[in-house]
Every structure is written in C-alpha cells, then in structure tokens.
Amino acid sequence: MNPAALIPTPDAIPVGWAWFEGLNILTFALHMVMVNVLVGGGALALYLKGRRDPVVTSFSGKLPSAFALTVNFGVAPLLFLQVLYGHFFYTSSILSAGWWLGVVALLICGYYLLYLFQHASGKGGGTGYLVLGLALILCIALVMTSVVSLMVRPGSWTSGVGGSAGSFLNFADPTFAPRYLHFLFASIAVGGLALALYARFTSGADGAATQETGMKAFFVFTLLQMATGLWWLVALDRPVLLKFLGDSSLATATLLVAIGCAVGALVAGASRKVIPAAIWTLLTILTMAGVRALIRSATLESWFSPSALTVTGETSPLIFFLATLLVGLAALAYMLKLAFGNRKEG
Ligand code: HEM
C-alpha cells in the first residue's frame, strides 16, 4: 500500500502557518518544563525520601499540582499540532489507538496515585504509590514519544495497517531510544533545578544542602542529556542531519544557539548559580523546541510542507486566542504563586 493513501486532505488554516508553528513551539516548551518538573521532581523525591528532609517532603507534596499543570499545558500544543500536522498526527494516533486511548486511564491512575503519595508521605510512607505513579507517568511519555515520532514516518505506517489493531509502537525507529532518553535525562536535570529553586525560595539558608543536591543532579544529568542529544542528532535521516550541519542556515543557526544556551546552563550549574541556570535552561528548552520543530518539518519534507496549506485570512479567532492566552497566563502565574508560595497549607 502507498502510505500517501493514509494521509487525509488537510483543512484550511485561518492565518499564516508560522503563527501556529510559533505558538506550538512556545506552548510545547511550557508543556516540557512541567513534564520535566513532574518526572524529575518525582524521581528525586523518591531518591531522597530516606533522608526525611523537610524541604524535599514539602517539594514532594507539590507533585499533584505539577501533574495537573503538565496535563493543562499539554492541551495547547495538541491544538496547534492538529492545526498544522493533524493529518499526520491523526493517522499515527489511530495506528497506536489502543495505547493512545490508554493514556487517559494512565493519566487518571497516575494523578490519583500522586495524591495517595502526598497523603501518605506526611506520615513517612507512600513510597509504593510514588513508584507506581512514576511508572505510569513514564508509560504515558513512552506513548507520547511513540505517537509523535511515528507521525513523521508515513513510510512505517503500512507495517501497522491491517494487523496492528491499534497497537503500533514506534520502538524500532532509530530516533526512538535517544529521543526518550533525552527526555528522561532532561527531566532529572530540570527536576534537580526545580528542587534547588524551591529550596532557595522557601527555606533560604536552611535549604542550602538540598539546593546543593538539586544543582548536582542538574549538572550531572545535563551532561548526560547532551550526550543523548548528540545521539538523537546522528540518528536522524541523513538529509535532515545535513540541514543542521550547514545545508540550512536557519536549522544550523537554531541548533548552534540552542547548544550555546545549554552550555550556559551547564556552566551556571557547575558554579551552582541557581537563577542563571534556570534562565539558561528556559532558553535552552525554548530553542531546542524550535530545533525539534525544524526536525519535524525536515523529516516530512517529501510528504508535506505547512506552507502549502490554504490560508482563509480570518484573523479574529487568533486575536481572541492571544487575548485569552494572556489572561490565562496571568491567572496561572497567580495560581502558581498561591500553590508554591511559602505558606502553611490548611
Ligand atoms: C503526565 C502526563 C504527560 C507526560 C509525562 C507527557 C510527556 C510528553 C513527552 C515526553 C513529550 C515529548 C515526546 C517527544 O517529542 O518525543 C510530549 C509531547 C506532547 N504532549 Fe505530553 N505528556 C503528558 C500529558 C499530556 C497531555 C494530557 C496532553 C494533551 C492534552 C499532552 C500533549 C502532548 C503533545 C501534543 C505533545 C507533542 C507536541 C508536539 O509535537 O508539537 N501531553 N509529552
């Protein structure tokens, strides 16, 4: 079967595709910050549980909030992904439908387990809930990586049609392992940074030891993350790789800026400067999200380009969206202040 037969006709878009690509990059970066805080924060909470450190215990109690924010920040990139690449994303999620729909059950159970952990950890227990909750969260990430890596591989789709019954997982893809490990190591690095920030802003000098532990995790896992990023790069299709090695000035420049930001984060991590490390890390995640979007469009180049989509020129939905986004972000900032602020919980 010709895989092109599985690509539906795309819908028209209201404004130029670059708007949606930019908003996808921005909101995906926010989603990944929260995913990393959740996964890395959970892993560190588990690793440090035996220490009975009050800062770590208080930080662990925020995991259900991190989970809720991860889910909320997943919705926006999903919308923008569907606007531009829906005809690829739908096909890959249908080929993996069993796993994809299973994510809903995993989300509900994972969320509930983190609440059980939060409740039990106050009494010194709850390790089992945390281990199980983290395992389910890692399974969600596995399905996410599989579906979004499969959507750029129409050539692999036909092996999943007719026999897979919606159970296709893209594990055989050469980019799958480095991509998943890159996310995993990034999570522990960002989780360490989040713990260090939390210790600094909630406990001051009392949290110095926890801050040091968080920054150490940040530094070591940033190094590991760089290694897996390099592995992902060399695992790309050769024409895509060459774009980042000079064939496309935009791709090469974006990658160089992203690597520069990552080096900035590493240097700040090595000298235990928490705030500069956080700023460099945010810039790295944002620019790496741009690199990832360029990889997606370059990998799909022979099948589709978003610039080919019909533009209807209706600007009002975008204006309305941007206005509500600003209001939403302001409300979120206020909510975060309440949730993570240094206050006693009732
Ligand atoms: C605990 C819950 C979640 C975890 C751990 C998680 C993890 C991830 C990871 C690791 C990726 C990157 C995949 C890759 O590029 O290899 C990803 C991408 C994505 N996630 Fe999530 N996710 C979660 C919840 C959600 C939810 C609830 C939604 C939607 C409502 C969502 C929407 C997305 C979308 C749309 C992408 C791809 C964005 C793009 O390619 O432009 N996620 N997620």
Q: What is the pLDDT of residue 101?
A: 97
Kindly state if the Cβ of 27 falls inside 6 Å of ligand 1. Answer: no
For the segment 197-248, what is each residue's pLDDT rounded down to a tens digit? Answer: 999 999 888 899 999 999 999 999 999 999 999 999 999 999 999 999 999 9
Residue 153 included in any domain? yes
Looking at 155-159, 218-222, 312-316, which range is the least confident one?
Answer: 155-159
Q: Is the pLDDT of residue 178 over 90?
A: yes
- What CATH code is carried by the domain that includes residue 301? 1.20.1630.10
Residue 245 included in any domain? yes
Residue 91 included in any domain? yes
pLDDT band at 1 (very low <50, low <70, confident <90, very high): confident
* d(C-alpha 171, C-alpha 165), whole Å: 17
Kindly state if the Cβ of 228 falls inside 6 Å of ligand 1. Answer: no
Q: What is the pLDDT of residue 135?
A: 98
* d(C-alpha 338, C-alpha 199), whole Å: 17
Gap from CA of 294 to ligand 1 centroid (Å): 18
**Which residue is closest in CA terms to ligand 1's atom 7?**
141
Residue 332 included in any domain? no
Number of domain units in the chain: 1
Mutate to test the pocket of ligand 1, among 26, 35, 145 (most ligand atoms within 8 A of CB): 35
Residue 253 included in any domain? yes
For the segment 120-148, what is each residue's pLDDT rounded down to a tens digit? Answer: 988 888 999 999 999 999 999 999 999 99
Which is the closest atom of ligand 1 to the Cα of 71?
Answer: 27
Kindly state if the Cβ of 71 falls inside 6 Å of ligand 1. Answer: yes
| Token pair in block for residue 286 | 């944002």
**Residue 265 structural domain:** 13-305
* d(C-alpha 77, C-alpha 101), whole Å: 18
**Which residue is closest in CA terms to ligand 1's atom 16?**
145
* d(C-alpha 85, C-alpha 83), whole Å: 6
| H-state helical runs in the chain | 17-47, 54-60, 63-95, 97-121, 127-150, 154-157, 176-203, 208-235, 238-242, 249-270, 274-299, 316-340
* d(C-alpha 111, C-alpha 107), whole Å: 6
pLDDT band at 345 (very low <50, low <70, confident <90, very high): very low
Gap from CA of 15 to ligand 1 centroid (Å): 25
Is 102 in contact with 153 (CB distance < 8 Å)? no
Gap from CA of 306 to ligand 1 centroid (Å): 21
**Which residue is closest in CA terms to ligand 1's atom 42?**
74
Average pLDDT over residues 152-160: 89
Ramachandran assignment for 246, one of left (phi > 0), alpha (psi -120 to 50 degrees), beta (any other): left
pTM of the entire predicted model: 0.94
**Which residue is closest in CA terms to ligand 1's atom 14?**
145
Residue 319 included in any domain? no
Gap from CA of 141 to ligand 1 centroid (Å): 7
**Mean per-residue pLDDT of the chain:** 94
pLDDT band at 162 (very low <50, low <70, confident <90, very high): low
Residue 38 included in any domain? yes
Residue 6 included in any domain? no
Looking at 80-89, 145-154, 202-211, which range is the least confident one?
Answer: 202-211
